[in-house]
Structure 1
Amino acid sequence: MSMSSMLLFFLAQSKSFFLSIITVFLNIQISFKSNYIFSPFLWCCLIASISTFYLKKCSKKVYLVDFACYKPLPSCICAKEMFIEKSKLVGSFRDESINFQSKILDRSGFGDKTYVPEDSLRIPPRICTSEARRETESVIFGVVDELLLKTKMKVEDIDILITNCCIFNPSPSLSTVVVNHYKLEDQVLCYNLSGMGCSAGLVAVDLAKQLLMVHQNSYALVVSTEILNSGWYSGNNRSMLVTNCLFRVGGAAILLSNISSDSRRSKYDLKHTGSQDNCYNSVLQKEDETDKIRGIALSNDLMSSAGLALKENITTLGKYVLPLLEQLKFATSFVVKKYINKNMKVYTPDFKLCFEHFCIHTGGKAVQDEMQKVLGLSDWQIEPSRMTLYRFGNTSSSSVWYALAYCEAKGRIRKGDRIWQVAFGSGFKCNTTVWCALRNVDPIKDINPWSDEVHEFPVDD
């Protein structure tokens, strides 16, 4: 490559910065024009400066090397009818509570192959710390082992570890459990996120991103799960019974890197993350009023909270991803509503212009219906989330990864495609992450939990 070609290449990366450097060096060269020895020396310095700047800029990128989703044993499969029959045998649920749970499952969008912990299938269920730990180890070790196998990573190369689980928070923490089991290095940075609900997986990715911006040439392992044993509710408060019906076993492990050379083997490039908090009491862990049994209550305002949080998140994210015309339409309608006509509906940007794939949290069929309506998504675009809900249920913070795995198993991910992950959680939180595919994902080579049965989908839920 000639010197002029190299300059054009670097100029394309940051025109104003490089033009300033070139101007300075040209002025210096002119001042020393009588001494030609300075010319090659100065040009070498210029190229070295530009190269250093470019490499530093590239090193700030965060790559998703690969991820894995947990698939429990067939013995953990629990059909909807089986779930109701087991609930009847528990003995603590009144008839009206059984009928209520049956109605919730009928409307849930679930199929008959979702997974529950083995201890939950016993009569009575064994709800205790030892069983919760057993479920934890099965999910976390299972999914991390699979990720290490897929990426051919050595555990000693992991520099940052982040685990997230909303309800089960033992001592030592889940991150320490992982460190102890895999004998990670003493200097590994460990973080354990709790109480953030279904959006915690994307919160963990954002935390990993922030840490990778500081710690160069590092790998970050993110493990997202929810332990159902510790969240089981045995009372009769309807708002708390919903969580028994909707949540299912699942987990995901994600390997992130800021090493430039990893761009060649990574699947995705992290582009943007965003978050928005409001509606504090929409998801609340508390004791019920009658029996003082602890559970997680979902308020009637949950759907409106989700819609409001999404709209505010869109406001933040839109300026980074939306075409200029869509931004102008949104800004104009916002100004008109605030200052001229309060009854006017704020324009919802067309995010289909920005993303090829949508991985929306599988909170429930009603949540997905609302998101499809708000975002104007086609049945094909909402399909990954609907089929994830049907096949695996609501796996909490890991659900958006099962949806992405569905897209991969279907052979939909092509180089340059943009993926939008959207998750909702307690707080009330809406968190989003934007990825760009660095290569085509081959469904034959990239095996995931969908691979052996994806030909059966989509189904009519």
Structure 2
Amino acid sequence: MNLAVAMLFYCLSLLSLLYLIWRFVDGKRHRNCYILDYECYKPTDDRRLSTKFSGEVIRRNKHLGLNEYKFLLKAIVSSGIGEETYAPKMVFEGREASPCLRDGLLEMDEFFHDSIDKLLQRSGIPPAEIDVLVLNISMLATVPSLSSRIINRYKMREDVKVYNLTGMGCSASLVSVNLVHSIFQTRRNTHALLVTSESLSLGWYTGNDRSMILANCLFRSGGCAMILTNKPYLKEKAMFKLKTLVRTHHGSRDESYDCCIQKEDDKGFIGFHLGKNLPKAATRAFVDNLKEMAPRILPMRELLRFSALLLMRKVRQKWSKAGPGARPLIDFKTGVDHFCLHTGGKAVIDAIAQNLNLSEYDVEPARMTLHRFGNTSASSLWYVLAYMEAKGRLKKGDKVFMISFGAGFKCNSCLWEVMRDLNGRGNVWTQFIDNYPLKNLANPFMEKFGWLHNEDPDTFFVPDDYEIPD
């Protein structure tokens, strides 16, 4: 009798242990975060900013003097942006100086209706199966919220969980991914719709403050919608799997907080201020982010090699009493196959390339995206990713390192694993990917308005057919 009881107790204990192991393994499977599909927004051709039309928009600003014109055109020429980017409708109607709420809503509706419609249709997932909606648009907050606008259009369920983020800046999409990933830790079998864009209509600057004029040169219309899931049985259909994500926020430092901020100039014109200390703040946030990210994504041999080089450098410096010298570079290519960089501007891409010792092949997707679509704020990363996909670069098992910067000041990064070979069929680059990469990224503003590039006031001249406002 005692033996039977003991055997029963043993069997029950074993079954309990097996159940706990199954729960642990099954729980980990449900905590994964996959991207099933994504859709980048390509505005219609009537929203395209050609060189000629961009010059007309600049000339319409009655507050710009000669020096501001020279500064602005010089910034455009050196920005890395081409003449096929897109702007809101009100710019083409000549109303950028006096936009209204309707302009901002129209800009968002055009993006919602195009990209979300295509995404839901291609994925085969009806709106009723969306469990979580996360939307990030920094510079347009409405009542009802923009997320409610999406729910109303697609008639989503009453119990859909909704998160509406504003003020997160260019790094907002990775904040949204982090939020979805956190939700997946406690909710099984969940579909999430993530929508990321930026509204330019109400933030177009019409003053003459140089630190705020730059925003008009860099930011362009765009957006991306994606479906994420933690359903294990959809693993084989997924495009990407999130491996790790790191967020760095330096908002407690006044210098970092003030370097990238929406405000009014001294004449009351609202715009986006980009301070001279922005590069320093970005570098500091970038370095701190990499310190936490590197041990998560690099092989141990690379970490040991880097540590040994640092130690040898310190010993040599101590014995020779020499200066600090150049810091040894850690090789991120030992754990990363592709680099997906935020298209904040040519200087941003150049700085990251230098700090990570990247080749032109590595930064080609970011450079071409900046040239073709401009800085589309939080959605820019996904245009870069789509370029890699359209070029056939993304193969099963590859690792993609995403890096983004945003107001606050923030640096967010993450690592994705490619779940299957991707060919980019039907994405935003399909129609013109064969024309890239371009060998010449020079902006035609130099040819059209190069005379404004001359810094010497004594030799400055204006062509007869060019009118400068009073």
Residues 278-299 of structure 1: CA deviation (Å, up to 9, x unaligned): 211110111112x121111101
Aligned pairs for 1:115-264 within 5 A: 115-125=86-96, 126-264=98-236
Which residue number corresponds to residue 410 of structure 1? Answer: 391
CA-CA distance at 1:260 after TM superposition? 0.6
Q: Does 1:94 align with 2:65?
A: yes
Contact map agreement 1:80 1:105 (CA 8 A) in 2: no
Q: Does 1:458 align with 2:430?
A: no
Cα separation, 2, equivalents of 1:135 and 1:129: 10
Residues 221-263 of structure 1: CA deviation (Å, up to 9, x unaligned): 1111001101100100000000011100000012111111110
Letter in 2 for 1:448: N
2:365 to 384, 391, 410: 384
Cα separation, 1, equivalents of 2:158 and 2:233: 26
Cα separation, 2, equivalents of 1:197 and 1:37: 61
Which residue number corresponds to residue 278 of structure 2? Answer: 302
Greater shift, 300-309 or 216-225, is seen at 300-309
Q: Which has the higher contact order (CA 8 A, sep 6+)?
A: 2
Aligned pairs for 1:268-283 within 5 A: 268-278=240-250, 279-283=256-260
Which residue number corresponds to residue 9 of structure 1? Answer: none
1:449 to 396, 408, 428: 428
Letter in 2 for 1:455: D
The two structures, once aligned, show a CA RMSD in angstroms of: 2.5
1:375 to 356, 374, 380: 356
Contact map agreement 1:216 1:259 (CA 8 A) in 2: yes
Greater shift, 169-178 or 38-47, is seen at 38-47
CA-CA distance at 1:371 after TM superposition? 0.7
Which ranges in structure 1 are unaligned for 5 or more consecutive residues?
1-30
Cα separation, 2, equivalents of 1:414 and 1:147: 22
Aligned-partner SS, 1:51? helix
CA-CA distance at 1:36 after TM superposition? 8.6
CA-CA distance at 1:301 after TM superposition? 1.4
Q: Does 1:328 align with 2:304?
A: yes
Across the two proteins, how many residue pairs are aligned to each other?
Answer: 428
Letter in 2 for 1:60: R
CA-CA distance at 1:343 after TM superposition? 3.3
Cα separation, 2, equivalents of 1:91 and 1:123: 13
Cα separation, 1, equivalents of 2:181 and 2:374: 28
Letter in 2 for 1:284: I
CA-CA distance at 1:95 after TM superposition? 3.0
Aligned-partner SS, 1:214? coil
CA-CA distance at 1:37 after TM superposition? 9.0
Aligned-partner SS, 1:343? coil
CA-CA distance at 1:305 after TM superposition? 1.7
CA-CA distance at 1:337 after TM superposition? 7.0
Cα separation, 1, equivalents of 2:308 and 2:136: 39
Residues 1:32 and 1:352: Cα distance change in structure 2 (over 3 Å): farther
Which residue number corresponds to residue 292 of structure 2? Answer: 316
Residues 1:386 and 1:155: Cα distance change in structure 2 (over 3 Å): same
Residues 1:217 and 1:297: Cα distance change in structure 2 (over 3 Å): same
Normalising by structure 1, we get a TM-score of 0.87
Which ranges in structure 2 are unaligned for 5 or more consecutive residues?
251-255, 442-470
Cα separation, 2, equivalents of 1:454 and 1:229: 29
Which residue number corresponds to residue 21 of structure 1? Answer: none
Residues 1:333 and 1:168: Cα distance change in structure 2 (over 3 Å): farther
Cα separation, 2, equivalents of 1:246 and 1:34: 76
Which residue number corresponds to residue 398 of structure 1? Answer: 379
Aligned-partner SS, 1:427? coil
Residues 1:342 and 1:284: Cα distance change in structure 2 (over 3 Å): farther
CA-CA distance at 1:96 after TM superposition? 2.5
Greater shift, 261-270 or 169-178, is seen at 169-178
Normalising by structure 2, we get a TM-score of 0.85
Cα separation, 1, equivalents of 2:126 and 2:243: 26
Contact map agreement 2:381 2:404 (CA 8 A) in 1: yes
Residues 343-380 of structure 1: CA deviation (Å, up to 9, x unaligned): 35544321111111111000000110111100111111
Letter in 2 for 1:292: G
Letter in 2 for 1:304: K
1:286 to 263, 287, 290: 263
Contact map agreement 2:386 2:424 (CA 8 A) in 1: no
Cα separation, 1, equivalents of 2:52 and 2:3: 87
Cα separation, 1, equivalents of 2:150 and 2:396: 33
Aligned-partner SS, 2:111? helix
Contact map agreement 1:32 1:38 (CA 8 A) in 2: no
1:110 to 75, 78, 81: 81
Greater shift, 49-58 or 65-74, is seen at 49-58
Cα separation, 2, equivalents of 1:345 and 1:331: 15
